[in-house]
Chain A
């Protein structure tokens, strides 16, 4: 089955860290560009980060640059998002998405991250 499944969400205090994982199946993960996208409660979607198929090209939104780090393990068909120095405004559902032809053709169901004291 072609799918992406996020895990690792939860409640964390401001200033804390959390690592999200995204497990891919049913397609050639090593050939795929993957993005993290988030949606804060009651807000629209926000692109967070991009990693190329080999992991050689990585981009971040200005709002997370310097705090978040994305990595890709093609041998394990997995993607990771290490989130440090978390802030209340990072509270959101985080989606793992596959990018192709200028859009996102496959999404996971998301992982909720809540940053609160």
Chain B
């Protein structure tokens, strides 16, 4: 079963760009089927930012973008804003009875 590894924390100044990685490892690497990214502010419902590696739902700012290279998916936040300070986590569909695995989560700090 795949495991998804994210950096524990990433920081940046307002207006800068930051990138959060999500690296797949383990058996049965599935080539990142349906990778998605979520933003989670404390005591709020997590919010979908990116689905299918690169797609952005309607209503999500185009400052958020997703990409993939090899076994690493990435979320880039451009023009960092104070309200972007939150936890971010990736998710991959692994199918069958296991369904989904999640990344370990990354805390983004806006300096």
Question: A102 and B52: CB pair below 8 A?
Answer: yes
Given A45-B102, A102-B93, decide whether A109 and B43 contact each other with a Cβ distance below 8 A. yes
Residues of B within 8 A of A37 (CB): 102
Q: Using a CB-CB cutoff of 8 Å, which residues 73-117 of chain A contact chain B?
A: 95, 101-110
Cα–Cα distance between A108 and B44 once the two chains are bound (Å): 8
Cβ-based interface call for A44 (8 A): yes
Residue contact A59 to B33, C-beta cutoff 8 Å:
no
In B9-36, the 8 Å CB interface with A consists of 33-34, 36
- A68 interfacial by beta-carbon distance below 8 Å: no
Supposing A46-B102, A47-B102 touch, asked if A95 and B46 sit within 8 A by C-beta, the answer is: yes
Q: Give, as a whole number of angstroms, the nearest-CB distance from A69 to chain B.
A: 16
Chain A interface, number of residues (Cβ within 8 angstroms): 22
Chain A 38-81 against B: per-residue CB contact (8 Å), 1 yes, 0 no? 00000011110010000000011100000000000000000000
Query: How near does chain B come to A102, taking the closest CB pair, in angstroms?
Result: 3
* A44-B102 contact, Cβ under 8 Å, with A107-B46, A109-B44: yes
In the complex, whether B69 has a CB less than 8 A from a CB of chain A is no
Inter-subunit contact B97/A103 (CB<8 Å): no
CB contact between B89 and one of A44, A59, A95 (< 8 Å): that residue: A44
Q: Give every chain B residue within 8 A of A21 (Cβ-Cβ).
A: none
Given the known A-B contacts A44-B105, A95-B46, are A104 and B99 also in contact in the complex, defined by CB atoms under 8 Å? no
Whole-angstrom distance between the alpha carbons of A45 and B43 in the complex? 15
Q: Which residues of A contact B38 (CB under 8 A)?
A: 104, 107
Inter-chain CA distance A103–B36, complex, in Å, is 6
The A-contacting residues of B in range 39-93, CB under 8 angstroms, are 43-48, 51-52, 57, 89, 91, 93
Report whether A107 and B45 are in contact in the complex, using a CB–CB cutoff of 8 Å: yes
Q: How far is the CA of A82 from the CA of B44 in the complex (A)?
A: 24
Known: A45-B89, A47-B99. A105 touches B45 (CB 8 A): no
Residue of B33, B89, B97 with most chain A CB atoms under a 10 A cut-off: B97
CB distance from B70 to the nearest CB of A (A): 20
Q: What are 28 A-B contacts with C-beta separation under 8 Å?
A: A35-B99, A37-B102, A44-B102, A44-B103, A44-B104, A45-B91, A45-B105, A46-B102, A47-B100, A47-B102, A95-B45, A101-B51, A102-B33, A102-B36, A102-B51, A102-B52, A102-B93, A103-B48, A103-B52, A103-B91, A103-B93, A104-B46, A104-B48, A105-B48, A106-B48, A107-B45, A107-B46, A109-B44
